[in-house]
Amino acid sequence: MLATMGYITPEITGKLPGYLSPSAGLKFADVPNGLAAISKVPAAGWGQILAYMAFCEVSQDQSPGTAAAAGDFGFKVLTSSDPAEKTKKLSAELANGRLAMMAIIGMFFQDGLTGSAWGDWANYTASPLR
């Protein structure tokens, strides 16, 4: 769900001020939206992203039999002390997560075809797949 919001947010609100990489002189405003941004982020930036992802994955025990393995990370906004309500909320969260995964794949596909995740039809006619 965060990937979907991250894809949408720069289009709606604009980009952060300042530098993405001060040593390379790369400002956030210089990085294009969508898939084109992948090639603009320096290798050290991708290393930081991967290191943070690894930290998030290994920072909590999710071995079988633990509450985290069942999807309960202690956030009572998403869960409940009532087992039936907890199951209902976790199922809704799972369904919303799956919908968000389909949305981001659709945005990637459309961005690859048109150069814009929003279906910029001016770019559609210039697409090599047209």
Helices (H), the chain: 2-13, 43-58, 83-114, 121-124
Closest alpha carbon to 37 in 64, 10, 63: 10
Model confidence at 43, pLDDT cuts 50, 70, 90, reads very high
Average pLDDT of the residues of the chain: 82
Q: Is residue 79 scored above 80 in pLDDT?
A: no
Q: What is the arithmetic mean of pLDDT over 96-108? A: 91
Q: What percent of the chain has pLDDT over 90?
A: 28
Q: Is residue 116 scored above 60 in pLDDT?
A: yes
Q: Where do we find the tokens 């290798």?
A: 43
pTM of the model: 0.64
CB 13 within 8 A of CB 5: no
Q: Is residue 3 scored above 70 in pLDDT?
A: yes
Model confidence at 69, pLDDT cuts 50, 70, 90, reads confident
